[in-house]
Every structure is written in structure tokens, then in C-alpha cells.
Amino acid sequence: MEYRSLGRTGVQLSPLCLGAMMFGPWGNNDTADSIRIIHRAIDAGINFIDTADVYSGGASEEIVGQAPEGRRENVFLATKFFMPMSEDPNQRGGSRRWIIREVENSLRRLDTDYIDLYQVHRPSPDTDVEETLGALTDLVRQGKVRYIGSSSYSGSQIVEAQWASRERNLERFVTEQPPYSILVRGIEEDILPTAQRHGMGTLTYSPLSGGWLSGRWRKNSDSTPTSSARPNARFDMSSPANQRKLDIVEELAQLAEQSGMTLIELAIAFVINHPGVTAAIVGPRTMEQLESYLPAADMTLSTDVLDRIDQLVAPGVTVNPDDNSYGAHELTPLALRR
């Protein structure tokens, strides 16, 4: 597995990142099996694990914390904060009060003295970015956090955060974590080039587009995509955009077969072949799923294959806008009223 630099930090990471969202009650509730999956990923050369406090209500962090077994120094460990952890309105968000409290909870669940990458899970329209950056800067200076990053920030929000860091002499976000797949290419137009200009690493999630590119759902399939962790609009099979996605999946499946690879391998290889992408986050629930992801780490797509993908989904285009995870606050009916 060929490692690549995390932005301008000099840290070398595997092109596949093990996402731990499916470890715990949200996915695989067998702790021992989840740990075996983590061990297999590390043995295969993956040195990067990403989780979040909210995944399975903290259970994911606890499982990840049990796994390294003496190899903690060989693993780049990332987690996130921001999502609600209870009904208490102050146990969420990007406030100093919550960050200082929640980092201690994550450190305890992860059974570690430090977090390599601590990320804001979502931007907040109600919290000054300087408040969030100030608290995160203190954590870095205390040695509890090594680097900080953002997730699902728009291009303008990335720039604002970088400006605030320089203006106020605060730690800066060194990573951005956006959704990216063949079906969700919106970040190519703004997010990826913005992150590259600021020397940030880009850690993309959902390379299989929520399962659409796994081969699980096909045009003539009787099954209906469902997911309790994602908006229903993403899986409404009656929508024209999702019907278009099914057509594209059929074409991609043929392209993968002609290229001597699986649809899953094609989808993941497409993501990590982009020069602006540091790593693609893959979130297996089973060992079989992990094994199906691993070969993509060493695959390079030919110009002909990339050109055909561009014909099916043009660069910078997201087939169904509901698949984007940024801009949610700006596009609400209340925000749009004049």
C-alpha cells in the first residue's frame, strides 16, 4: 500500500482509512468481530482509523479503543465531535464548553492519552468559528490533540476558518472530510481545490455513495435501499434523480467488468486516484466487506476508464443534490426567505 502525505503535515497515511461507524449497535454489535476487522485492516497496511463520539452513542469509540493492543503508536487515530450526545442542548455543537468536556469523554472511550486528529463533525451557524478554533488550539497545546480538522464544510467556510486561524494565531484545520464518489462529485468544483490551495488533506467519506455503488441495488432489483443513518430522500426510488443513479450504476457495472475489476473496486479506486484526495474512508460492517475494499488501494484507473466515468457523471456534478451534506443551513426555507 503506497502511503501519501496528509496535506503539508508530513504525516504519511494509507490511501484507505478504516471508518468505524458500523462498529457497535448501528451496524456490527459483535465487539470481538469488530476488533478482528480492525486488526485485519491494520495487518493489511491501513494505518488510519476514523470514528466519532456519536457513532453508536460512543460504543464505536470504545471498540476502537480496545483494538490496537500495543500498536497505538502505529495508528493515526481520528474522531469527531459536534452531533447531539443527549437531549441536553449543551451536549453538542462547537462551543468551548462542550469541546473541553467532550474531548475527555472521547479520550476515555478510546483509552488513549491523545487523539491524532480531532474534527468538527459539522459547521455551526450559531457558533463563531474562532470560539471553536480557540478551544481546539488549547487542546493541541495541552497535548491532548495533535491536529484538528473539519467535516462537511463549504468552500467559503474552509476559507473563513483558515483566515481566522492566521488572523488570531490559532491552530488551523489541516483536513477536510467531505462526501465524494462517482455519483457525488460536487466537491471537485470548489471543496477539493480550496483544500489543496490551503495545503489541507482531504479525507473523503462514502466512496460507495451510501451503498449505491456496492452492487447491492440494481435497476431490476426487488430490494429497496433503506438506511436509518441517512436522509430518506437519498433512497426514495421514485425520484427522477435516483432513477438516473440506477441507470448510471448499470453502466458503471459494465465498465468495471470490462476493466477486470468489481464495481466496488472501481468506485473506491476512482476516489483515491484523485490527486487532491488523501484517503477514502471505508466503513465495513463485516470482514467480507473489508476484504472487498482492500484491492482498490493498489489500483490505478486508465485514462479511458476515467473518460468513460466523466461521460456518465460530469466532473463537479452530484447526480442527486440530496447526497450532499453541506449547505444544509444556508438552503433551509427560513434562510431563503427575504
- Measure Cα distances from 148 to 90, 144, 151, 256, 320 in Å: 21, 11, 10, 37, 30
Q: Are 180 and 207 in contact (CB under 8 A)?
A: yes
Q: Give the whole-angstrom CA distance, residue 225 versus residue 210.
A: 9
**85, 53 Cβ separation under 8 angstroms:** yes
| 331 CB neighbour count, 10 Å cutoff | 11
Q: Give the 3-state secondary structure of residue 147.
A: strand
3, 55, 118, 153: the active-site residue: 55
3-state secondary structure of 282: strand
Look up residue 10 and give its DSSP letter: -
Shortest CA distance to 184 belongs to which of 150, 216, 208? 208
Torsion of CA 155, 157, 160, 165, to 10 degrees: -110
Strands (E), 70-213: 76-81, 115-120, 145-151, 173-177, 201-205
Distance CA 319, CA 242 (A): 8
Is residue 293 flagged as an active site residue? no
Task: Give Cα separations from 66 to 5, 56, 63, 76, 150 (angstroms).
Answer: 27, 16, 5, 15, 26
Burial class (CB in 10 A: 0-12, 13-18, 19+), 25: exposed
Judged by DSSP in three states, 153 sits in coil
The whole-angstrom separation of Cα 59 and Cα 52 is 10
Catalytic residues: 55
